């Protein structure tokens, strides 16, 4: 369940009556999926030819010696009628009974297998319903709907209808999320198995009985609807769904898209409580030429308020309030797993380096940049939303933290100077961190020395050109450094010019002509004249060639004037 209540646990020492049903409850094939044995997985009717080990949910639950376990297939993997055959279960037959319903009770077959399974649920203490999808791999596994076959939903609903007080434990086996929203509210617990492999049956029995305390978290956001809204968890902050506010317009307001379970959700037999979310500072200061590596440390107090020892994965997310590109709704920055005895408490700390808070900038999609004045909050736990914290989760959000890069920060200059530094050519051109930064960031400063809007220094095109040369596998600093100023712009010969050739001191021809300039101009004039004379036919003789009965002749343009 997802309401914070303890997960369902069955006592292995109690004399319980348990029903195991569903299309994946007695199949090693559906526990392993595609690319097992064969491309599209093992044929569920030929499992004995492939598997020499493992345990299905049915066989593992039947191994609990204190429980009275029954089995019914319920429906097949397509949600249709199925046949159940006796497999040495705990219900003995009555020899020569001669009564059809008694035979069906033992053998487990019914013209309506769904109805048969739901009737068997009456009088049970718990029902294990195992759902899932067919095996697949690659293109043959494409689907147009995230819904499971209707019969699988109907099986769960009919069991609840026939046995309103029984504990229903739902198990899902499949390689991707399939929609469960129509049955989530009528079951007592859900084990999200995905494709755990042939030993899943015993693992599930250990989790269900509490011999192992579950502590896993969802590695994805589980969808509630077909449209995929709210997925993935780090979706754009502008990705929202409409909301009915009850006014004149039924969908006139936007709200975060509803999902089944958020990324990082997961329950345990222990109960964990978070308190005292603190940050080491409310400002992160960055200077390009500083040897310091700024970082932020977040801490939270975690307490096991339940009666069972267990492990908890504490997750830390950041929420950017704004930036020059659309921020994610939230982003995972790290997690720490801790073990706590009942009543135990510990402080969990996580350090976030400033380098990890970079993002892809607005003018270049290959570099991660910082932004002066960007503010963010840190939230702890999968269900916290620091953009709209509820009364329950507000204490799980840190105070706002501001990134300060200084007024002279230019991301393109940072990238360009890093290339010079890493190329091995900086010394040859007398480039240092200081003069590189000063030359690049001085472009477009106003009379007060402040950077103007949209200043990218030498520009991202210059950075891309430099990187294409300096990072090439054949680049050698001892012989190829000249390429950085010949194939790319020579920033030392064109100081204070931006990538568009603009700046206070653009490079122009000097007042007095130079010899090289004159020679270049004369060569250009002579070359043009020569080309013109040749192309106009001045030095081309008339030539004739014969090919069979066809004669070709070269003529000069003057001949037809």
Q: Please say whether the beta carbons of 442 and 498 come within 8 A.
A: no
User: 2 or 532, which is more confident?
Assistant: 532
What CA–CA distance (Å, rounded) separates 545 from 548?
A: 10
Q: What is the mean pLDDT of the chain?
A: 86
- Report the pLDDT averaged over residues 446-462: 72
User: 402 or 3, which is more confident?
Assistant: 402
CB neighbour list of residue 395: distance below 8 Å, 6 or more residues apart? 274, 275, 277
- Report the candidate in 426, 438, 401 with the shortest Cα–Cα distance to residue 294: 401
Q: Please say whether the beta carbons of 380 and 301 come within 8 A.
A: no
DSSP string for residues in 174-189 = -SS----HHHHTT-SE
Q: Please say whether the beta carbons of 206 and 191 come within 8 A.
A: no
Would you say residue 42 has pLDDT above 90? Answer: yes
User: 552 or 278, which is more confident?
Assistant: 278
- Report the candidate in 197, 113, 210 with the shortest Cα–Cα distance to residue 169: 210
The residue extents of the domains of the chain are: 17-229, 272-404, 411-486, 515-561
Residue 184 sits at the vertex; the CA angle it makes with 181 and 186, to the nearest 5 degrees, is 130
pLDDT level of residue 38 (50, 70, 90 thresholds)? very high
Report strand pairing: 401-404 vs 283-285.
Answer: parallel
- Report the candidate in 280, 155, 278, 176 with the shortest Cα–Cα distance to residue 219: 176
Q: Where is average pLDDT lowest: 174-183, 229-238, 447-456?
A: 447-456
- Token output for 545: 């060639």
Q: Please say whether the beta carbons of 159 and 140 come within 8 A.
A: no
- Token output for 223: 């969808």
Q: Please say whether the beta carbons of 105 and 122 come within 8 A.
A: no
The structure tokens 């801790």 sit at 338
What CA–CA distance (Å, rounded) separates 160 from 539?
A: 100
Would you say residue 141 has pLDDT above 60? Answer: yes
The structure tokens 């916290």 sit at 384
Q: Where is average pLDDT lowest: 209-218, 391-400, 407-416, 489-498?
A: 489-498
What CA–CA distance (Å, rounded) separates 69 from 64?
A: 8
- Token output for 97: 């009974």
69-121 pLDDT, tens digit per residue, is 999 999 999 999 998 754 444 433 333 333 333 334 444 444 599 999 999 99
The structure tokens 């754009």 sit at 236
Would you say residue 396 has pLDDT above 50? Answer: yes
DSSP string for residues in 382-402 = TT--TTS--TTTGGGBPPPEE
Give φ, ψ of 144 to 5 degrees: -105, 0
- Fold classification of 272-404 is Immunoglobulin-like (2.60.40)
- Report the pLDDT averaged over residues 537-545: 52
Per DSSP, helices labelled H in 210-295 are none
Would you say residue 445 has pLDDT above 70? Answer: no
- Report the pLDDT averaged over residues 26-41: 96
Would you say residue 549 has pLDDT above 70? Answer: no
Which overall architecture, per CATH, does domain 17-229 show? 3-Layer(aba) Sandwich (3.40)
Entry pTM:
0.81
């Amino acid at each position: 369940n997802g309401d914070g209540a303890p997960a369902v646990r069955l006592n292995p020492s109690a004399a319980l009556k348990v029903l195991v049903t569903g299309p994946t409850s007695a199949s090693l094939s559906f526990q392993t999926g595609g690319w097992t044995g064969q491309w599209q997985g093992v044929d569920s009717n030929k499992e004995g030819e492939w598997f020499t080990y493992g345990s299905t949910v049915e066989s593992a639950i039947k191994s609990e010696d204190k429980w009275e376990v029954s089995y019914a297939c319920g429906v097949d993997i397509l949600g249709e009628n199925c046949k159940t055959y006796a497999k040495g279960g705990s219900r003995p037959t009555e020899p020569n009974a001669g009564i059809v319903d008694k035979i069906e009770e033992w053998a487990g077959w019914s013209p309506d297998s769904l109805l048969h399974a739901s009737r068997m649920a009456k009088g049970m203490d718990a029902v294990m319903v195992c759902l899932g999808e067919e095996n697949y791999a690659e293109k043959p596994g494409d689907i147009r709907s995230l819904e499971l076959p209707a019969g699988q939903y109907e099986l769960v609903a009919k069991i609840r209808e026939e046995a309103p007080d029984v504990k229903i434990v739902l198990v899902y086996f499949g390689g991707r999320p399939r929609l469960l929203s129509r049955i989530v509210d009528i079951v007592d617990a859900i084990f999200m198995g995905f494709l755990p492999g042939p030993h899943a049956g015993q693992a599930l029995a250990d989790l269900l009985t509490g011999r192992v305390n579950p502590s896993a978290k969802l590695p994805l956001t589980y969808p509630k609807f077909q449209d995929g809204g709210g997925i993935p968890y780090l979706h754009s902050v502008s990705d929202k769904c409409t909301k009915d506010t009850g006014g004149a317009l039924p969908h006139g307001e936007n709200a975060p898209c509803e999902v089944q379970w958020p990324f990082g959700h997961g329950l345990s037999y222990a109960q964990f409580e978070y308190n005292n979310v603190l940050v080491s500072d409310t400002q992160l200061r960055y200077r390009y030429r500083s040897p310091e590596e700024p970082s932020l440390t977040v801490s939270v107090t975690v307490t096991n308020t339940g009666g069972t020892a267990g492990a908890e994965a504490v997750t830390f997310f950041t929420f950017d309030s704004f930036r020059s590109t659309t921020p994610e709704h939230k982003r995972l920055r790290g997690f720490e797993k801790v073990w706590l005895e009942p009543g135990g408490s510990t402080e969990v700390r996580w350090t976030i380096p400033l380098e990890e808070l970079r993002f892809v900038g607005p003018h270049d999609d290959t570099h991660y940049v910082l932004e002066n004045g960007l503010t963010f909050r840190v939230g702890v736990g999968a269900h916290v939303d620091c953009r709209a914290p509820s009364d329950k989760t507000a204490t799980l959000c840190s105070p706002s933290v501001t990134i300060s890069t200084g007024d002279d920060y230019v991301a393109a200059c940072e990238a360009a100077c890093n290339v010079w530094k890493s190329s091995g050519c900086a010394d040859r051109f007398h480039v240092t961190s200081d003069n590189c930064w000063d030359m690049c960031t001085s472009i477009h400063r106003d009379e007060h020395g402040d950077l103007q809007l949209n200043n990218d220094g030498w520009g991202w095109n210059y950075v891309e050109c430099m990187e294409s040369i300096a990072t090439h596998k054949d680049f050698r600093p001892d012989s190829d450094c000249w390429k950085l100023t010949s194939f790319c712009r020579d920033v030392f010969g064109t100081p204070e010019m931006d990538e568009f050739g603009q700046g206070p001191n653009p490079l122009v021809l000097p007042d007095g002509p130079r010899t090289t300039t004159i020679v270049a101009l004369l060569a250009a004039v002579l070359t043009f004249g020569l080309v013109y004379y040749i192309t106009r036919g001045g030095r081309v003789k008339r030539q004739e060639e014969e090919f069979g009965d066809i004669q070709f002749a070269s003529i000069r343009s003057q001949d037809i004037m």
